[in-house]
Structure 1
Amino acid sequence: MRVTNSLMSKNFMRNLNNNMKNVYKYQEQLSTMQQVSRPSGDPLKVSKVLDLNNEIKQNDEYKSTINDSIDFANVQDSALANATTSIQRIYTLTQQAANGTYNHEDRQSIKAEVENEIDTLMDSFNTSFGGKYIFAGNNSTTKPFVKEASVEGEMPKVTYKGTSDNTSKEIARGVAVEMKTDGSVLMNTQEESSDLGTLFNDLLVALDSDDTEKLGGSILNNVDKQINNIVNLRTNIGATQNRLVAAKDRNESEYLNLKTTYSNTQDIDLAETYMKYSMEMVSYEASLQMGTKILQNNLLDYIR
């Protein structure tokens, strides 16, 4: 093979161009602190980086949902704690009213306090979070529990205006948790005699009529059932809270793993990259120096 000046020049320019590309590659990595910044650099790695980035964003969305759900469950638990205090006070007042030593005026005083506790109980059940009622099912913008006059128009009666639905929240891919938003459970309609609306109506009527037998019998028993009903719902919400807290821990662990993988895939090793950059610069500068000997002398060199 005949080696000519033209061939040497072409090879030199090709090698110099490769050196320049390598210098540019590591210079760009040092500037961006990333291994790749465009698909053409490494299509497979870029694809993996994009997938990881999407996973991290989705993880953040799940984290936000979990935190909101935990806050929601905490508000529910607090509301039911207050409701339990109110219904327990109603139980105590019912016991007192059933005492035969109390006269009609005493029971009217108890009735006034019972009505106040019923209002407090309704306020607890009508607690809202983020502008939505927590025990209204899917009808979360309408106050679920209202106290209105009964058919006879004699005593107020509690009714439920929400829906019998729980709300589902997706907390991970393919994993959903059910938030207990079905307020109809609090009405305890499974047993007609202990239905919340019927119970309070019967209680107020019995206080007006001094029916101590009913106060100390069926009504007191039904108030106790209502206490247990609220406690049971609070227990279910507590179990949901525990599940959400566990999901939050898993979410944080997954986030850490994703960020670590992302960093290993995308971020550069600064010391190693700088060393490679320095070596490529030495190679590039050496190529330039060799070029003065490889390239043909120009006309001015011969004139001198």
Structure 2
Amino acid sequence: MRVTQSMLSSNSLRHLSSSYEKLGNYQDQLATGQKITRPSQDPVVAMKGMYYRSNLTENEQYQRNLSEAYLWMDNSEAGLEHASQALERVQYLIIQGKNDTYSDEDRVAIAQEIEQIKQDMVEVANTKVAGRYIYNGTDVDHAPVAKGNPPVVNMNTEDYAVEVSAGLKLKVNVNGDKVFNQALFNTLQGIKQGFSDDTYSAEGMDNLLKDLEGQISTLQAERSEAGARYNRLEMIENRLGKTEVMAKSIISDNEDADIEQVITNLKNQESVHRAALSVGARIIQPTLMDFLR
């Protein structure tokens, strides 16, 4: 095959262009720290990167959902603790008021304090977080308890669940009807009336005290159940944290360039490129006048 001057020149320019492209790729890797800057450079790396980043984004969304779950459960627990202390105070006042040394005026004072506690319990039952009632199940737009004598309870008991992992929804609310139910407010109203009028009787107060103790026991059981779910939430958070670390490590292995190797490749390519330029200069240098001499 006859090799002409134009063929040598074209091949030389093509190889120089390819060399420039390789130099450009290595310089991009060195500047960005990434193996590729566009999918066409390595479709496999690009596709794996999209898949890994999708998993990471999903994990990050679950972690944001965890924040909402913690918000509900922390505020629910705070309300239950407050309610527990309030009912224990009522229990103490009943035992105190049953003392025969207390006068009618003393019992009226106790009744007034119990009235304030009852109103406070209504406020706790109607606790709102981020504009939503946390003790009314899924009906978060309406207050579960209306003021009255006694207060009127209209409680939604459906589970308010938050998705905290793939296919896993965790209940984050407490069953408000087990804590702030109609029976509780009826009991508080009965205790208040029993101390404030002439119908006071030790036997009747004993029955109300027994009812109150049952309510306190139910409240403590609900707190324990909520605490168990809180512990599970912490375990899920720990697992999601580990998953995030592993996902970022996989993304780094897939996409991050080996800087030491890139520098070595860049230096080698620069040497090859200089050699190609030198040879190309020798090939392209002759002109028509050189052949006519």
Which of 205, 212, 217 does residue 202 from structure 2 map onto? 212
Aligned-residue offset at 1:100: 3.5
Per-residue CA shift, 1:213-260, capped at 9, x if unaligned? 1102x2111100111111111111111211111111111111111111
- How far apart in 2 are the matches of 1:237 and 1:81? 12
- How far apart in 1 are the matches of 2:124 and 2:99? 29
CA contact (8 A) 1:138 1:162 kept: no
Which of 213, 221, 235 does residue 210 from structure 2 map onto? 221
Aligned to 2:286: 297
- How far apart in 2 are the matches of 1:158 and 1:87? 16
Aligned-residue offset at 1:65: 1.1
Aligned-residue offset at 1:264: 1.1
Q: RMSD over aligned Cα, in angstroms?
A: 2.0
Which of 189, 200, 210 does residue 201 from structure 1 map onto? 189
Aligned-residue offset at 1:2: 4.1
Aligned to 2:179: 186
Matches within 5 A, 1:1-304: 1-148=1-148, 156-188=149-181, 195-207=183-195, 208=197, 209-216=199-206, 218-295=207-284, 297-301=286-290
Aligned-residue offset at 1:292: 1.9
- How far apart in 2 are the matches of 1:122 and 1:245? 30
CA contact (8 A) 1:67 1:248 kept: no
Aligned-residue offset at 1:7: 3.6
Identity %: 25
Amino acid at match of 2:200: D
Task: Give SS of 2:171's match.
Answer: strand
Answer with 178-187 or 61-70: which moved more: 178-187
Per-residue CA shift, 1:102-140, capped at 9, x if unaligned? 332222111111111112222222222222222121222
Aligned-residue offset at 1:172: 1.1
CA contact (8 A) 1:199 1:222 kept: yes
- How far apart in 2 are the matches of 1:274 and 1:119? 74
Aligned-residue offset at 1:288: 1.0
Per-residue CA shift, 1:79-105, capped at 9, x if unaligned? 111111100011111122233343322
Amino acid at match of 2:186: T
CA contact (8 A) 2:175 2:222 kept: no
Answer with 95-104 or 21-30: which moved more: 95-104
Amino acid at match of 2:179: L
Amino acid at match of 2:158: D
- How far apart in 1 are the matches of 2:265 and 2:70? 49
Aligned-residue offset at 1:301: 4.1
Q: What are the ranges of 5 or more consecutive residues in structure 2 without an aligned counterpart?
A: none
CA contact (8 A) 2:174 2:226 kept: no
CA contact (8 A) 1:142 1:162 kept: no
TM-score, normalized by length of structure 1? Answer: 0.88
- How far apart in 1 are the matches of 2:38 and 2:287? 41
Amino acid at match of 2:191: L
- How far apart in 1 are the matches of 2:181 and 2:174? 14
- How far apart in 2 are the matches of 1:200 and 1:283? 91
Task: Give SS of 1:135's match.
Answer: coil
CA contact (8 A) 2:138 2:160 kept: yes
CA contact (8 A) 1:168 1:178 kept: yes
- How far apart in 2 are the matches of 1:274 and 1:67? 44
- How far apart in 1 are the matches of 2:85 and 2:174? 20
